[in-house]
Structure 1
Amino acid sequence: MPSAESAPTSPPLSVTTGADGIRIRPARTADVRAMRALVAPLAEQRVLLQKEAVAYYESVGDFVVAERDGEIIGCGAVHVLWEDLAEIRTLAVASSALGHGIGSRLMERLMERARELGVERLFCLTFETDFFERHGFEPIEGQAVEPEVYAELLRSYDEGVAEFLDLERVKPNTLGNTRMLRVL
């Protein structure tokens, strides 16, 4: 049995705190209720898709949160779709915290995480094209993957993958959204 000294250790969780006291940190399971509450009004406005609680718990490792005085005021996820491709998902900021660069700080951390994972391209499906363009995303049409990868991605149960592939069955959920891509 290895000694405590030789046992592998996990890297410390990456937490950044701005001069304004807002912390950007990896999400924890205890954050899921707050994240869902944050997304709920945006889902009602059909800006984001509402997800079941189980979907958040299953993907909590994909998320980072913005926290101020113990309150979750923003969240976002980077979800790997393929070897070189990931999606920015569920990027949301509380209406009371808009206009303070929190979305940009979340985006920067998500792009940093994508690079750590070895991802070369980031996809998003969004109404907020100006925000994503400021972060280097460009609208795309057609397929952004080779036919072999497309065929593999068709096997995924993930609705986000179906949205990336622009499948007909998800179009009612994505009307008006723009598919965008950024090369890291």
Structure 2
Amino acid sequence: MEVRKAKLSDIKYIYKLILYFSKKGDVIPRPLAELYESVREFFVCEDRDLIVGACSLHILWEDLAEIRSLVVSEEYHRQGIGSKLIEACLKEAKELGIPKIFVLTTSPDFFKKFGFKEVHKQELPQKVWADCIKCSKFPECDEVPMLLELNQN
């Protein structure tokens, strides 16, 4: 299995994964056009020419980015794919010089393994919540805001 930057030919597979998990309420749905526009944000995990996972590093400002749309095919759960995708996003964030990364998640324990800490949503800029309107859980959100401050050394 290989983690790599997404290509345009991967977008339809990423879309299907996100659509599946958005129907379960695990991630926010993303329109196909939005995924094509943000292809450079995505990493994918490929197993024998099959896209089995994806994750996005979405830059919001000079000092803040979000890890979002983390999806892994159910038959590939518990194989470390999610961790590899998060590590790829964090590596790129460091390379870009982004000091703070946040996530909104229903799996805080998973992100704690990478050093993310739970924060109050008021600690994040209001712009962060723009995608929430697209969510089926809005305004009764069960996601936990978490923040990681990267050591830039």
- Aligned residue type for 1:176: D
Q: 1:162 aligns with which of 126, 129, 141?
A: 129
Instruction: Give me the TM-score of the superposition, normalised by structure 1.
Output: 0.74
Rg (Cα) greater in structure: 1
5+ long unaligned stretches in structure 1 = 1-21, 155-160
User: Is 1:48 aligned to 2:22, yes or no?
Assistant: no
Instruction: Please name the residue that 2:77 is paired with.
Output: 98
Q: CA deviation at 1:169?
A: 9.5
Q: CA deviation at 1:48?
A: 0.4
Q: Cα RMSD over matched residues? A: 2.2
5+ long unaligned stretches in structure 2 = none
Partners of 1:169 and 1:30 in 2: how far apart?
Answer: 25
Instruction: Please name the residue that 2:8 is paired with.
Output: 29
Partners of 1:32 and 1:162 in 2: how far apart?
Answer: 24
- Cα 1:121–1:57 change in 2 (3 A) is same
Instruction: Give me the TM-score of the superposition, normalised by structure 2.
Output: 0.89
Contact 1:163 1:174 in 2 (8 A): no
Could you report, residue by residue, the CA deviation over 1:8-40 in whole angstroms, capped at 9, with x for unpaired residues?
xxxxxxxxxxxxxx0111001110110011122
Q: Would you say how many aligned residue pairs link Structure 1 and Structure 2?
A: 149
Q: Map residues 134-145 of structure 1 onto 2, 5 A cutoff.
A: 134-144=113-123
Aligned-partner SS, 1:143: helix
- Aligned residue type for 2:108: T
Instruction: Please name the residue that 1:183 is paired with.
Output: 149
Identity %: 33
- Cα 1:65–1:142 change in 2 (3 A) is closer
